[in-house]
Structure 1
Amino acid sequence: MSTQEQEEAEKKYDPLDTTLKFVDRGDDLDPVSSDFFSLRAEMSCGHAVTPESLTQWCRSQLNEGNYKFRCPALVDGITMCNKLWSYKEVRRLADLDVEEMQYFEENMARLAVAEYCEVHSCPRCKTSVERKNLSNLCVQCVVCTADLKKSYQFCWQCDKPWKSPGAGSGRCGNDGCVNKDLQILWTCKTISLFDVVGVDSCPSVRACPVCGLKVEHNQKYCKNVVCPRCKEEFCFVCLKLKRICCQTSSPFTICPDGVAPRQTSIPVWKKKITGK
C-alpha cells in the first residue's frame, strides 16, 4: 500500500462510533464533494459530508481568512444553507490528525485575534504585542521592558527600536522606515475589469475603505468585492461602500466619479465592540 493510500485509509469514520449518524446514499447532500459512493456522516444542519470533503472545505475557508465554518450546501438549488458548524463538530467529523488539528487551531486563533485587535511579534523577544492605538506606530513590549528594567519600544512599521522622542509620533526616526502596504498601493500594476463597462485601468490592489486590509480583484464578475477581514462589501473602482455606489450606478458599469486614484493613506479600522 502506498503512502497516499495509507493516508486515505486512515481518513475514515469509525463505523462503531455511536455518536455519529451515518448515511449511505448517492444523493447531492455533500456540499463540497462529487464522490457519491463514499460513506457520509450527517452534520448538525442535516447535510452529509465525507471526512475528505469536510477537511477540504474548512481548509479553503481558513485560507480565505474565515475561521467560522458554515455549510455551503444549496437549499432548493438557490439559497446557501449557511448554518454554523462548531469546531468541535468539524474536528470530530473531519477526523483530523494531529498535524491538521494544529494547523486548524493555530490559524483559527490567529484569525480570531486579528478580528478584534492588532497583534504583532516583538522583534526582540518574539512575544505577541497588541497595538491598542491604531494610529500610533510606537508600541511597548512589557516583556522586554521587565527584562531590561527600562522601557523598550519599537516601531510597528519597521520593527526597529523607537528613536523619535515623542512616543505619540507617527515617525520612529529610523532611516528607511516606510509603510510596505502603502508602497504596494502606490506601485501595483493596473488591471481591467472585463465585465465592468468602462473600467480598463484600475489599480490591482486596494486598501479596504473600512478596515485597511489589502484586497485584490479577480477581474471577474462585478466591480464589488467583500473584504475578508471586516466583511464589508465595497466598490473596487470608486472605493465607496456597495450600498452607496449602487445608488448611482449598476455593478457592471463604471461609477459616475470614475476610477478612484491610488490611495495615499490606509484607513484605520474603528471596530465596534459589542461586548458579546
Structure 2
Amino acid sequence: MPCGHAIGCYTMFEYMKSVLNRDMYSYKILCPAVIEDKIKTTYTICGKEWDWQLVAAVADLNENEYTQYTDIITNRFMEAKEIKTCPSCLGKCIRGKYLNVFRTKCLGCNSDFCWACEQPWQSEGQQICGNQNCPLWETQKLLETCDLKVSSDVKMPPFRACPACLSVPMYFFAIFILLFFFFAK
C-alpha cells in the first residue's frame, strides 16, 4: 500500500467490510497497521487513508460488490460533506457559506431549492422555503404563534431558534432533566 504496509486480498476484503459495517457513517478506509516506537515503547495506528480504487483492486471485488460498496461510500461521503441532490435536475449541490441561508441555487439548472427539505423553493426569502411540510416551516409557525413574554419592556418569544439550523432548543425540558438528575442523587 502507499503507506508502506502490506495487506492480502482476503484480509482487505474483510477489513473493508468491517469498516463499512461498523456504523452508518464510516466511508474512509484507513490503514490499520500498528506501528511500534521501540524507543518510547509505544504503539500507534498508521491511519493513512487508502484510495477507494486501490482498496477495491486489492480486495479483488467483483462487479456487483464494487457497485454495492461504491454506492455505500458515495452516499456516506455526500452525507458527511453535506452534498444534496437538486430536485429539478438531480445534480449534486453544496451549501453556500452562510449557514442560516437555506435557499440553495443549483449551478446545473439554475433553480432554487430548500436545503432542509430538498424541495423547490416557494417563497421570496432566503431562510423559509414556503413548503408546508418543511421542518423550517414548522419552526416559523411556532415562533409566529407562540405567546410572547415581556423582558425589560420588550416582547419576545419564550424560546429562540438556532441561527444556523433554525431548530428550537427545548430549554425548559433540558433544565427539568438536569434538575431531576441533580436532586435524584
5+ long unaligned stretches in structure 2: 37-41, 140-163, 166-176, 179-185
2:159 corresponding residue in structure 1: none
Q: Does 1:80 align with 2:45?
A: yes
Structure 1 CA distance for aligned equivalents of residues 43 and 13 of structure 2: 24
2:19 corresponding residue in structure 1: 61
8 Å CA contact 1:124–1:144 kept in 2: the answer is yes
1:5-16 map, 5 Å: none
How many angstroms does 1:178 deviate by?
Answer: 0.9
8 Å CA contact 1:162–1:173 kept in 2: the answer is yes
2:31 corresponding residue in structure 1: 71
How many angstroms does 1:88 deviate by?
Answer: 4.1
1:12 corresponding residue in structure 2: none
Structure with the higher helix share, 1 or 2: 2
8 Å CA contact 2:84–2:118 kept in 1: the answer is no
Instruction: Write out per-residue CA displacement over residues 155-186 of structure 1, whole angstroms, 9 at most, x where no aligned residue.
Output: 222233322222x2x2122223215xx9xxxx
RMSD over aligned CA atoms reads 3.7
Q: Which has the higher contact order (CA 8 A, sep 6+)?
A: 2
Q: Percent identity?
A: 28
| Residue from 124, 131, 143 that aligns with 2:88 | 124
Structure 2 CA distance for aligned equivalents of residues 161 and 48 of structure 1: 48
TM-score, normalised to structure 1's length?
0.38
8 Å CA contact 1:138–1:172 kept in 2: the answer is yes
| Residue from 120, 128, 139 that aligns with 1:171 | 128
Structure 1 CA distance for aligned equivalents of residues 26 and 51 of structure 2: 13
8 Å CA contact 2:88–2:120 kept in 1: the answer is no
Distance 1:177 1:92, change over 3 A: closer
8 Å CA contact 1:71–1:81 kept in 2: the answer is yes
